[in-house]
Structure 1
Amino acid sequence: MKTTAERIFSAIFIVPQLCVTAFTALAVSPAAKADVTAFGQELSIPKNMASGTILARHYITPQQACGESKCIVQYVTAYPNGDTTTSSATVITTNVSGISTRLLINGRAYGTGLVEVEFTQPIEVQLLSDGRTNLGGSLAGSQFNPSYFTISMKKNTFYIYLKGTITPIDGTCSVPGQTVKLPKTMLNRLDRIGSTAGTQSFQIQINNCPKGYNRIGYTLDPVGGVIANSPGVLPLTGGSTASGINIRVENAQGAPATMGTSVTVDGYNKAAGGSFAIPMQASYIRTDVTATPGTVNGAMTVFLDYR
C-alpha cells in the first residue's frame, strides 16, 4: 500500500554551453497565550499506516508563544498520554491507541530536557502512527495533567494540550510521480540575482482520496532543507555541475510556493472524496553573482496529512 505521507520528486537540470536545459520530477499578531490547544474537535485519521507516518500537523507561531517575532525556549517537558509522568523521548504516545505525538522546534524534535534555542518559525506539533492499532477515541489527557508539552521560555511558560476525537478511516490519497521538462534557456536571460526564466507549468496530482476526512493537507519539503530567505527555491542535490542557478517552485500565479507548512487541498469534500490537481510552475532562478552552466539537480517531497 502506498504511504499517505510522502512522494519524492527529483529535479535534473542540464546546462550545456550558454543555455540551461532542465528536467524536474516533482513527486496577526495575537498576544502570547498561557496555553495552546492543538488540533480540534474531530479528527479523521487513516486507520492502517506505517509506523512513523505523519498523520496531522498543528503550528504555533512565535506571536502565539511569546507575543514577539522571536522567542527563546529554555526547557521542554513532555508528558506521554497527557499524564503526570515525563519522558525525554522525542516521540511520545497519546492516550489513543495507534497515535503518538512529537514537538518540533526549528525542525528538530524535543522531549523533556534543556533546550536553549531561539525560533522565528512556527513550532510544529505532529500526530504520528506508531504501529499500534488505531482504535480511535479522545486525545484529551488525564484529569490531573491534561497537557502533553510544557514549553518554558525566557519570558513566559505555556502548555500544549491535544484536543479532538479521532475517527479511524480506511484508505488514503496517493501522489504519483511525474517528470516536467523546463525549456532551454540562455544563460544571459538570468542576468542578475533573483531573475527567473524558463517557466514551465505542472500539476501536483493527489488521487483517490477516500471519503470521511475533515481536511486533507499537503506539505512541500525541499530535499536538503529550506534555504533561508529564498522562498520556494530548491537546494542543489547530487550530480549538479552548474553554479549560481537553482530551481524555484511557484504557485500558478508565479508566487514562491509555500514550503514546510501544511496547505489545505482545496475542493476536498468529506462526503465525496475524489482526486485533485494543484496547479504549480517551476522556473530557473539566479542565486549568485557568479553563475556557470552545467547540470542542476533539485528535489522535493510531498507529505500528506489528514484530519
Structure 2
Amino acid sequence: MKKLSKLLFVLLAGAVAAPAFAANVNVGEVTFKGKITDKTCSIHAGDENKNVTMPTIAADQLDAPGKTAGAQLFTVQVENCPGEVKQVRASFRPDAQVDPVTGTLKNTDMTGAAKNVNIQLVNEDATVIKPGYHESAHLFPVDPNLHTGTMQYGGQYYATGTATAGTLTSVTTFDVDYN
C-alpha cells in the first residue's frame, strides 16, 4: 500500500508540475486601451453616399496586372465633431466588394462590364489605401472652432490582367475614425 501511495504521489506531482512549467515557457501579454466618446462627428449631408465619376481611359493603359490609371479625387466632410476630436479619417471596410488578393474594389457592373479592372483606393498623395487597414488612410485635421473637417481620398483604375473595354461600378463602405 505504501508503494502504491508513493507511486501515486510521484505521478500526481509530475502531472501538476508539468503544466505549470510548460505554461511559463512562452508567456506573453496583450493590453488593450481605447476611448469611448458619448458623441461622434456627423458626415455632412450629401457626403454619406458619394458618387465619383471616373475619367474615361483607353483599355491599353491597363495592359498588364498592377498598372494604374485615371485617378479621381473626392472629399468627405464631417461636422459637429466633439471638442476632443482633433483628427478624422475614413476607415474603408474589407467587405465582399474587396478583392482579397489585390485589396482593390471589384467591378460589380453586370452588363457590358470591363474585364480585368478594379478600383484602387488612394490617399490624396496617391499612396495606396488597403481596406481593412485603417492606418493606411491619412488623418485629416478637425477645425477646433468650427468642429468640422474635410477628408480627401481618391480612386484609380487598377489592372488585374489585360483590361478590356467596358463599364465599371465599384462600391466601398467606410466608417469615420477619430483621433
Scaled to the shorter chain, the TM-score interval is 0.5 to 0.7
Structure of greater Rg: 2
Q: 1:235 aligns with which of 106, 117, 130?
A: 106
Matching of residue 36 in structure 1 with residue 30 in structure 2: yes
Equivalence for 2:140: 266
| Cα distance in 1, alignment partners of residues 87 and 74 from structure 2 | 24
Matches within 5 A, 1:55-74: none
Structure 1 residue runs of 5 or longer lacking an equivalent are: 1-31, 46-168
How has the CA–CA distance of structure 1 residues 275 and 239 changed in structure 2, closer, same or farther, with 3 Å as cutoff? Answer: farther
Equivalence for 1:283: 156
Instruction: Tell me the alpha carbon deviations over residues 248-274 of structure 1, each in whole angstroms, 9 at most, x when there is no partner.
Output: 1111221211321334743237x6572
Cα pair 2:89 2:151 within 8 Å, conserved = no
Q: 1:196 aligns with which of 68, 74, 81?
A: 68
| Cα distance in 2, alignment partners of residues 256 and 274 from structure 1 | 28
Cα pair 2:41 2:79 within 8 Å, conserved = no
How has the CA–CA distance of structure 1 residues 252 and 172 changed in structure 2, closer, same or farther, with 3 Å as cutoff? Answer: closer
Cα pair 2:140 2:150 within 8 Å, conserved = no
Alpha-carbon distance, 1:229 to partner: 3.9
Cα pair 2:86 2:141 within 8 Å, conserved = no
Instruction: Look up the SS of the partner of 2:75 in the other structure.
Output: strand
Sequence identity percentage: 24
| Cα distance in 2, alignment partners of residues 171 and 254 from structure 1 | 28
Equivalence for 1:300: 172
Alpha-carbon distance, 1:184 to partner: 1.2
Higher share in helix: 2
How has the CA–CA distance of structure 1 residues 203 and 209 changed in structure 2, closer, same or farther, with 3 Å as cutoff? Answer: same
Q: TM-score, normalised by structure 1?
A: 0.42
| Cα distance in 2, alignment partners of residues 215 and 278 from structure 1 | 10
Q: TM-score, normalised by structure 2?
A: 0.67
Equivalence for 1:164: none
Q: Structure 2 counterpart of 1:282, which letter?
A: G
Alpha-carbon distance, 1:188 to partner: 1.4
Matches within 5 A, 1:91-102: none
| Cα distance in 1, alignment partners of residues 145 and 28 from structure 2 | 39
| Count of residue pairs the alignment pairs up | 148
| Cα distance in 2, alignment partners of residues 235 and 39 from structure 1 | 34
How has the CA–CA distance of structure 1 residues 187 and 194 changed in structure 2, closer, same or farther, with 3 Å as cutoff? Answer: same
Q: 2:78 aligns with which of 203, 206, 210?
A: 206
